[in-house]
Chain A
Amino acid sequence: MDYVFQFGVVWRDFPALLLGAWLTVRLSALAMGLGLIVGVATALAAASRWRALCALARVYVEAIRNTPFLVQVLFVYLGLPSIGLRLRPDQAALLAMVINLGAYATEIVRAGIKAVPAGQLEAGTALGLSSWQLFRHVVWLPALRAIFPALGSQFILIMLASSVVSVISAEELTAVADTLVARHFRSFEVYLVVTGMYLVMCLAFQAAFAAIHRTLFARWRAV
């Protein structure tokens, strides 16, 4: 092989890559927060007494979990303008990520709620807690603790999936990398560096999850 590696172009444009990575981090962090809220809300809707609400939640979860993320991104950016909803590329990317993560988070949260022992629910009801109080004091924290690892890996997955939003011209890390490759034709060097950057971001998010886990469940450790 007579290929000569030239990392110079990568370092020269490293600030652009960092800017792209920053958008990836922001999109991912926002999608994680909002996606979890959507997931909890949909899981509660799916468990509710109203049939129509249950059905709606099921339709949402099944529709999103059984279609490709790329198609969802294109639909939000290029399809929604037909009904008057015009979003910037980064907004469209975020919306698609929240919708996607929300559906997966729903299933994870549902499993967590199911994992709370029936006895504890009955004890709560016996104490006269309202259904909101029951959720807030009896269900939420144990459920979150049970699903924390699964939620963490789903969060990481959505961050990695965000690399496809370059198709709608959102300038996240992969998009910047593609632009650099198109300009300097140094695909091996650029993608090697970008792979390393994704790895670092994953490890950073995992460290953050571990820290959140420690803070939230500090009092559980003695048990």
Chain B
Amino acid sequence: MRAQRRWAATFLVLSLLLLLVAPPLAAQTIDEIIKRGKVIVGVNTTTPIFGLAGPDGQPEGYDPDVARLAAKYLGVQVEFVPVTGANRLPFLLTNRVDMVIALFGITPERAQQIWFSIPYATEAAVLVAPASRAVKTVDDLGGLRVGVPRGAMQDLILTPQAAAKKINLMRFDDEATALQALVSGQIDVVGTGLLVNRTLNRNDPGKNYEVKIVLRPLHFGIGIRRGQTELLQWLNTFVYTIKNNGDLDAISRKWRQLPLEQLPVF
């Protein structure tokens, strides 16, 4: 009898512990998000302009600001979960986040796994190098060490041609490490976004980093799990609204120092 009670107590304590460490289960519908009073958003905190950890440890940048705006329009709190280019999709699929707002370039391959909202940002997959590096086309990359964030668009574009063109393609777990590798001289060229060379020049003056090659223009969408029709409909309405009421333009001017461009819809 006493043994049984001890087992029951142990079981109770263990399940309580499990409850404490178990990740919050993501909401499946917009009603669940509103009822819970908070939206859980995956953001990247290693990418200058679109998402960095601020001085207070909270994410700051274009994407976190869009997330805060979405929470405001939903009337709920926002909870950030840091994701990387490689793990943002698994985080979404395993219900760790309600949505991903993390430089998610819209591609048909990705759309087989998840759904995208209409674009909320314009970007490009580019290659950046110091001014002294003579690189004009992808063919000039032979023999050079090119660092890319693993699984990012630059990785997907360069991988099929790397072997034939003798590109030494090096994949880093996140963009910050790839950029640091460029600054440390461990790589010659880095795959990144359009305006990142400004951040590089500010932090590592004298090298005059510039965009050498634009691999592909991109638009970012908000990623959600497939089949969440309601949430998708709300997000599209949300993006449409902030595009037209000046909210998104303000975010663009704040982080990109550029007015918002015309964004396509689908």
Annotate B111-153 by CB proximity to A: 1 below 8 A, 0 otherwise: 0010000000000000000000000000000000001001100
Q: Is the CB of A185 within 8 A of B181?
A: no
Q: Is the CB of A78 within 8 A of B177?
A: yes
Kindly report which residue of chain B lies nearest to residue A92, judged by CB atoms.
Answer: B186
Kindly report which residue of chain A lies nearest to residue B114, judged by CB atoms.
Answer: A185
Contacts of A187 in B (CB 8 A): 90, 93-94
Expressed in whole angstroms, the minimum distance between the Cβ of B182 and any Cβ of chain A is 10
Kindly report which residue of chain A lies nearest to residue B151, judged by CB atoms.
Answer: A182
Q: Which chain B residues in 168-217 approach chain A with CB under 8 Å?
A: 170-174, 177, 180-181, 184-186
**Chain A interface, >50% SS class:** helix
Contacts of B174 in A (CB 8 A): 167
Interface bin, chain A: 20 to 34
Q: Is the CB of B173 within 8 A of A166?
A: yes
Q: Is the CB of B186 within 8 A of A167?
A: no
Q: Is the CB of B150 within 8 A of A178?
A: yes
Q: Is the CB of B113 within 8 A of A86?
A: no
Contacts of A168 in B (CB 8 A): 172, 177, 181
Expressed in whole angstroms, the minimum distance between the Cβ of B174 and any Cβ of chain A is 8
Q: Does B82 contact A (CB under 8 A)?
A: no
Expressed in whole angstroms, the minimum distance between the Cβ of B65 and any Cβ of chain A is 26
Q: Is the CB of B86 within 8 A of A167?
A: no
- A182-B184 contact in complex given A168-B172, A169-B147, A169-B172, C-beta closer than 8 Å: no
Q: Is the CB of B155 within 8 A of A78?
A: no
Q: Does B89 contact A (CB under 8 A)?
A: yes
CA distance A179 to B186 in the complex (A): 20
Q: Which chain B residues in 149-171 approach chain A with CB under 8 Å?
A: 150-151, 155-156, 170-171
Cβ 8 A contact of A175, one of B85, B90, B171, B177? B171
Kindly report which residue of chain B lies nearest to residue A80, judged by CB atoms.
Answer: B184
Expressed in whole angstroms, the minimum distance between the Cβ of B141 and any Cβ of chain A is 16
Annotate A159-185 by CB proximity to B: 1 below 8 A, 0 otherwise: 000000011110100010011011101
Q: Does A89 contact B (CB under 8 A)?
A: yes
Q: Is the CB of B173 within 8 A of A182?
A: no
Kindly report which residue of chain A lies nearest to residue B148, judged by CB atoms.
Answer: A169
CA distance A167 to B171 in the complex (A): 8
Contacts of A178 in B (CB 8 A): 86, 150-151, 173
Q: Looking at A86, A167, A185, A187, which has the most chain B CB atoms within 10 Å of its CB?
A: A185
Annotate A51-81 by CB proximity to B: 1 below 8 A, 0 otherwise: 0000000000000000000000010011101
Instruction: List chain A positions with a Cβ less than 8 A from chain B.
Output: 3, 74, 77-79, 81-82, 86, 89, 166-169, 171, 175, 178-179, 181-183, 185, 187
> 8 A-B residue contacts at CB 8 Å?
A78-B181, A81-B186, A86-B185, A167-B172, A167-B174, A168-B177, A182-B85, A185-B113
Instruction: List chain B positions with a Cβ less than 8 A from chain A.
Output: 85-87, 89-90, 93-94, 110, 113, 147, 150-151, 155-156, 170-174, 177, 180-181, 184-186
